[in-house]
Chains A and B, each alone.
Chain A
Amino acid sequence: MKKVLLGVVICLLFMTVSVSAMSESKLLDKLTAKYDINGVTFQLSESDRVLAKRYLDENEVSSSDADYIASKIDEAISAMKDSGAKDFTDFTKLPSALKTKLKKLVQDVASETSVKATVTKDNVVIYNTDGSVFAEIDGLVKNTGSKVNLVVPAAILVVTVGAFVLVKNVKANA
């Protein structure tokens, strides 16, 4: 009886570990996948994928957090499709209903998960769960006079909250 019980406990532990590992990789797949939204294919830039992968490598994301973020990504994709919009490169130009919905999703993930980030001056600083800085997101090319290359929504939102809410246009479907 003891051996059977021990076996059950070990299986449960193994399953728990596996579920967490599966959820993180499922989340990463979701973040890095290509999405067809209103006839246009979207995918995170390689740069944003690097950030997302590294964040998940450095920080233990619980299975519940990973599942939650993944579900919010689905909601974001769905909202983007429903909006009928095709150009998501400028967050400020999105339909206001979509902007509201996306902001809410970001807040949902920020309030429900253990992700830490803060807005400082004109960038966003994301922290690891141990309190050290993960990255400062303020645009790729440094010391520029304009904010044209400040892909705020994609980089910040993806890495900050794991919510896939804005990507660069990769190619349009034929």
Chain B
Amino acid sequence: MHKKRKFSKKAFVTYVAISFLFASLFILMVYFGLNSKIVRYTSLINTVAIKKSDKDKAVSFDKIKKKLTSYPVYGTKYANIKISKIDLSLPVYFGDNMEILSHGVGHYAGSYFPGEGGTIIYAGHNNRGYFDKILNLEKDDKIIVETGYGNFEYKVDKTKIVNENDLSAFSVQSEKEELILYTCYPLGVGHKTERFLVYAYGDNYE
């Protein structure tokens, strides 16, 4: 007897069908058994998947509610700070990371905006004509913050030198309009372990 091999379509189709069956069973098991875990872990990973946007935003202010209705984009300039006594005129950026501080004055994001009736915290380096001169400020000296939604005037109340870790000196409150300027202290070379703070108050709105 001769033995010949013939291609069996039926066998081929059966094998392919079995393959589909196994794959489908696997998919069903994964879907019903592990779907919630898969969704959770992919969502967690996607929390750090950021489609960055650099849209510019117009800042707007509600005079009645004394609240910003549209905030500046983080990292952008939204104001100028002017102190005529020490011949200071600097841009103010929203945010205070090291990159921002290399360009001007940084506004701490966890503080209020001018006009909102709370504490506003501005940081600046103590050299290059930034905040080195605020060490010369005294009581009743005027500080003006010019924003796109209005100009705000503050009067210096006091200055203070604190340790860099003394957070109580930077307490944010919502009772009155307060402007805190701070810079590294003392002047000179090296790492500074203190901060020089200027406290100013005001509720003028033009």
Asked if A and B form a direct contact in the complex, defined as CB atoms under 8 angstroms apart, the reply is yes
Q: Would you call A50 an interface residue if the criterion is a C-beta within 8 Å of the partner chain's C-beta atoms?
A: yes
Distance between Cα atoms of A131 and B191 in the complex (Å): 35
Determine whether B193 belongs to the interface, using a CB cutoff of 8 Å to chain A: yes
CA distance A119 to B45 in the complex (A): 12
Q: Which of A57, A132, A135 contacts B55 (CB 8 A)?
A: A132
Q: Which of A20-28, A61-69, A143-151 contacts B (4 or more CB under 8 A)?
A: A143-151
State in angstroms the CA–CA spacing of A111 and B73 once bound together.
Answer: 26
- Min CB gap B175→A, angstroms: 10
Residues of A within 8 A of B173 (CB): 46
Chain A residues within 8 Å of B164, by CB = 141, 144-146, 149
Say yes or no: is B170 at the interface (Cβ < 8 Å to chain A). Answer: yes
Complex CA–CA separation, A79 to B165 (angstroms):
30
A140 on the B face (CB < 8 A): yes
Which label, helix, strand, loop or mixed, suits the secondary structure of the B interface?
loop
Q: If the complex has contacts A48-B110, A51-B109, A131-B51, are A145 and B44 also in contact, measured as CB distance less than 8 A?
A: no
Give the size range of B's interface with the partner. Answer: 35 or more
Smallest CB–CB gap between B92 and chain A, Å?
15
- The CA-CA distance from A112 to B106 in the complex, in Å, is 33
Docked pose: A115 CA to B44 CA in angstroms: 10
Docked-complex contact B108 and A140, CB < 8 angstroms: yes
Assess whether B83 is interfacial by the CB under 8 Å rule.
Answer: no
Contact with B along A105-137 (1 / 0, CB 8 A): 001001110011111000100010011111111
Which B residue's beta carbon lies closest to that of A53? B67
Q: Bound complex: CA of A48 vs CA of B109, how far in Å?
A: 10
- Give the nearest-CB partner of B164 in chain A: A144
* Secondary structure dominating the interface of A: mixed
Known interface pairs A47-B110, A50-B111, A127-B50; A138-B43 also in contact (CB < 8 Å)? no
Contact status A143-B55, CB under 8 Å: no
Task: Show the binding face of A for B, using Cβ within 8 Å.
Answer: 45-48, 50-51, 54, 57-58, 107, 110-112, 115-119, 123, 127, 130-138, 140-146, 148-149, 155
Q: Which 5 A-B pairs have the closest CB atoms?
A: A131-B53, A47-B110, A111-B43, A133-B74, A135-B109
Residues of B within 8 A of A (CB): 39-41, 43-44, 47-55, 57, 71, 73-75, 95-98, 101, 106, 108-112, 118-119, 121, 123, 164-165, 167, 170-174, 182, 184, 191-193, 195
Given A138-B97, A140-B170, 5 more A-B residue pairs with CB atoms under 8 Å apart are A47-B111, A111-B40, A118-B50, A146-B164, A149-B167
